[in-house]
Each structure stands twice: as C-alpha cells, then as structure tokens.
A = this chain, B = another copy of it.
C-alpha cells in the first residue's frame, strides 16, 4: 500500500521534473507523511525492504530517509528502526489538492495600496514597433567596443576596481557624468553630488521617500509621465495634478490650497505634450517652490536630442536655493540593456541620500558602471550622441513630412523641437484612444494623449515616437498614420 503510493508518486515526479531518484523518493515519502499515509509514531519499513519493494538501490533509499531525518519528519530509535516524528502534522485536503496541481483559493488579496499599484497608471505592454514612444534606436550602438570595455572591467579584480565603499556609484562614472552635465546642461555640480541609480524610477522613489512623508502632496504635470505618478503613489504621496500649457506647468491660486512638498517637472520636453518650459515660467515655478518650501524634481529625460537651436539650460542651473534635484537616464541614449541613470543631489543632502540609497537599493553593477565611465571618458558617448542626433533628425523630418497633409487649425504638432517623440494634437471631439487602437491594427504603436491625463479632460492627440523605427519604416508607415487621422474627417 505504502509502496504503491510511493511508486505512483515517483513515476509522476520522474515524468514531470527529471528529479534524481533519491529526491523523487524523498518527495514521495514526504507526501505520504503529510497526507497521513504514515501517521505520527508509525514505523517506517526498513530501508532494505523499501529498496526491494521500489526496485531502488539501498543507497538511494538511505539518502531519502536521512534527508527526512534531518528535516525532522523521521526519527531513528536505536535498535528498533525509523519512526514518523510525533510533531509531523496531518495536512488537510487543501495541501493534497495543491500537491496534485489543483488551484487553491488565495489566502487574501492585495492590500488596498497593492490594488491601486496594480491597476492605476498601468503602462500597457510595450510593443517594440514603429512609432512606439520611448524606445531609442540602438542599431547604431558600437557593440563591439562596448563588449571590449565590458569584458575588461569584468576582468578587473575586486576589491581594487570596486569602490564598494561609495554607494553613490563608481567614482570615475560620477566624474564623467558631472563633466557632461556641467558642459552640456549648465548643471552646477561636483562629482560627489552624483548618485548613480538604475534609472529614473529609482531616482524618483529615492527623492519621494527621503524628502516627503506619507500623505504629503506632490504636484505633477497634467498630462504626466505614468512612471512618475506610480512612483509617487507607491511612496504614499497625494498626487496633485497641475495643468500644462505650451509653456509648461501653470499653477494657479487654486493649486496653492494643496501645498506641495515636491514638484515634479519635465521642463526640457514635457512628457508627453513636448512643451518646453519658458524662462518666465521657470522663474515663476522656482518662486512658487520657495514660497511653499518645496523641493523640485527636474526630470531631464530627453534633453540630449534638440533639433531646433542649442539645448536649453536646466532648471537646476537657475536654482538659487539648492532645492532642485536633477535626474537623467542612459537607457534612452545608449542601449536599453544599460539600466543606469543618475540623480544630482544638493550638497547638504548628499550624505543622507548615499546612505539611504545603499541601504534601500544595494546599488552595484560596478563592471557596467566602469565600462560606461570609460565609454564616456573616451569620447564615445559624445560621438554616439552626435550620430544619433543626425539620424533622429532625419526620422523626425520624415514623420513631420508624412503628417503635414492632415495639419490644420485644430490639428497641430507640439513638442517636435526635441526628444524622440512628438505629439499630434487633435480637436476635443476626437476619441484618441479608439484612434490609437485602429492604428494598432496596422502593426503601429502610438499612444493616446488623453491616456496620460490625470484630472483634465480637454486634451486629445497622439503621442508618436520616431526613435526606434528606421527612416524607411517611417516613410512607409507615416502615411498610414495620416490616413487614419484623415479618416476622422478632421484633416
């Protein structure tokens, strides 16, 4: 009876998992014990008998029994054999049904917070196909060079290479980032203010947790970058959306009733409308932040690619108080496999941010950081940017050209001066989400502008990326976008 049960279980396990025999027997015996085939205090057949009944070597049986002994299921009594331990519980039918693979009811649910996190501001599956916003062109990435650098730094020995002691990141990478930002973005900083993160999500959460308390209010642009909204929600902040116009975020007196602890902005190229924050608005915003003693989080995600005129200086560069925290990422610039970003922290906060970053995020990936540092120092980053800028400029021009026939008074383009996407604005009557779904039937991914709106209802449009698709794909598919828009009867 016991042997039959064990044989049946072992056959099932052997077919399913390719476990070694002793492990199959161990699992079968454990199930026999938990299911009550052998009750507490009962004597196990001798290893010799079991080996014979099951046609196994004695060693195999002894290995399984020893394992169960170590785990407390069985105990040996000298001279009288092996017995089921008194404290082995009889497990109810649910275990058995589970052990046979039947579904069981979950013991509870997600928490209230968990339900919100799993259902609100959810990014849709990221289809990598023409016009998906947020995906760069990685075809030009100098992979061979990168491999050489990466191999070199994986070869270096710990702990010499690994600045394990500095949770801000690998020191040469922090210096390279500081040099880049000083020259190209007018960010005033020393390398010690740079904290290397895995990207913007981690930068945002670090800020939200260290600078705000549960229930504090964060102002963010409406429409907004979903990822930021989610990071703040996960950190227990109250989201207060503030509308954006063509000069960026525009707080009014009504907003002051929700005094912010944090203000999150994408001033270089507002996501997703593409608005560039005007100088006047920048100063006004800093004054508002000062009045509320709020911190400003400047996400400069797309600043590397500017097509009309030189880049606009950062908000951080205007900040007189040290209240701006500046962040960027390498994922959109080099290769999506490089999950590295940076956060620039005002000096008085550096030590606390580094300590908390180490404790909360256990930063690492030093070989990757070292490879990137050398890549930047050797000038490959700048030249990759230059090449990419040229290629994106062509793609952007092709997309603008394809869309030109449908432009009119209520149908216009915003945010095409910079970055890897533009926004085709549509009249208020349009169901932009239905339009995006119709376009998806052509194997093209665009996002509805209204899907990014938090509170406002007045924006319609399409967010269209030109980073990923090659020029020919844009020339071929661009007219399909235009045709879909024309079919609305607006163009």
Contacts and interface: CB of A to CB of B under 8 A. Distances in A.
A213 interface: yes
A293 B211 CA distance: 34
A89 B337 contact: no
Contacts of A410: none
Contact of A198 (B73, B198, B226): B198
Interface in A1-56: 17-20, 23, 27, 30, 34
Contacts of A214: 113, 214, 236
A440 interface: no
A165 interface: yes
A111 B359 contact: no
A358 B122 CA distance: 9
Contact of A312 (B71, B198, B287): B71
Interface residues of A, number: 125
A293 B107 CA distance: 6
A368 B337 contact: yes
Contacts of A227: 359, 362
B213 A113 contact: yes
A309 interface: yes
B201 A360 contact: yes
A411 interface: no
Interface string A103-118: 1111110111111011
A364 interface: yes
A182 interface: yes
A261 interface: yes
Interface in A183-233: 183, 186, 188, 198-202, 205, 209-214, 216, 226-227, 230-231
Interface stretch (A154-162, A251-259, A376-384, A475-483): A154-162
A278 interface: yes
Interface string A370-389: 00000000000000000000
Nearest to A126: B164
Given A87-B283, A198-B362, 4 more contacts: A18-B183, A108-B211, A117-B209, A123-B358
19 contacts: A18-B183, A19-B182, A67-B310, A85-B279, A98-B320, A98-B322, A111-B210, A113-B213, A114-B212, A114-B352, A114-B356, A115-B352, A122-B355, A123-B359, A128-B164, A198-B198, A199-B362, A200-B362, A336-B364
